[in-house]
Amino acid sequence: MGTTTSKEEAYESASTSDPESGGERPSAEDEIARVLRYQNNYYKVLGLDPRTCTAAQIKRAYYKLARVIHPDKCRHPKATEAMGVVTSAHSTLTNSTLRAAYDMYASQTDVDKAGADSFHQWESKGGSQMAHLPPWLVHCLAHPILGPITMFFIWLLLLTAALVFLALFLCYMVVHMIFWFLCCFGCGGHCWPRYGEGARIHAKRQERFMRMLHDYEAEAMMAKAKGEPMPDPNVFFHNWNIAHPEVDEDGEVPFA
């Protein structure tokens, strides 16, 4: 009950502040029919000029309509539906980001056509992404002349970026294959740890390194158990490499 009273007071306050409130009001039936007829055109719903209307005018038009068609004051069966449209128009147009997105929607959609997608349907199909763009870009895209020009340069930029990426990828593949052939037919793969002999040598060196770390940890644990100082890693690794030289199956040290 208190909520209803506060709403009515707000409507009456808007009525006294509206300079047009002294004139003859349209009937609730006419306003509801008009709102539902143009429910996708928020500017027509509120009776405003999209080029010049301000936030104060939007708010005034909202309260003016609410005084007539709000379900608390009107018993028309479609009053709730019409009031929902008016509320949506008000909340969208008083938000600068949503208004810019709505203007873009209106520039891409025949909002007065029956069966046209609503603003919310347009948002669900990807239009909501516009809310994440800078406001100046949204305004440019919504402009009837700057919009197509801006889209052209956006697509041109994306195409250029894709071509640059493709060129870099092809260069990488060409250089990669050149070194692969030189490695395979030159040193037999010794110099490349990803292919052929190089992969085998790399795996053996990794295994040897892990054995060295394991031996160092065992030495450190033994020193700790005896209460002796920890062995110096550099000295231990140097001595370990001398005691365990890197050799291949033939007993020879492989080249790098």
Tens-digit pLDDT profile for the chain (256 aa)?
444 444 444 444 443 334 344 456 678 888 999 999 998 999 999 999 988 899 999 999 999 999 999 898 888 899 999 999 999 999 999 988 788 888 878 877 788 887 788 888 877 766 555 556 666 776 676 667 777 888 788 889 999 999 999 999 999 889 878 877 776 666 655 555 555 566 677 778 888 899 999 999 999 999 888 888 988 989 998 999 888 887 655 555 554 4
Q: Which among 28, 40, 120 has a CA at the least distance from the CA of 66?
A: 28
pLDDT for res 3: 43
pLDDT for res 139: 66
Q: Which among 89, 90, 123 has a CA at the least distance from the CA of 105?
A: 123
pLDDT in tens, 147-180: 788 878 888 999 999 999 999 999 988 987 887 7
> What 8-state DSSP symbol labels residue 130?
G
pLDDT for res 48: 92
Question: For the chain, how many residues are written?
Answer: 256
pLDDT for res 157: 92
pLDDT for res 102: 84
Contact criterion met (CB below 8 Å) for 86 and 45:
yes
In angstroms, the CA 171 to CA 167 distance is 6
What does the CA dihedral 37, 40, 45, 48 come to, rounded to 10 degrees?
Answer: -130
In angstroms, the CA 201 to CA 208 distance is 10
- Alpha helix (H) residue ranges in 109-186: 119-124, 135-142, 146-186
pLDDT for res 62: 93
Q: Which among 11, 29, 139, 28 has a CA at the least distance from the CA of 66?
A: 11
Amino acid in position 214: H
Q: How far is CA 80 from CA 41, 75, 83, 141, in A?
A: 18, 9, 5, 34
pLDDT for res 120: 82
pLDDT for res 177: 82
pLDDT for res 24: 62
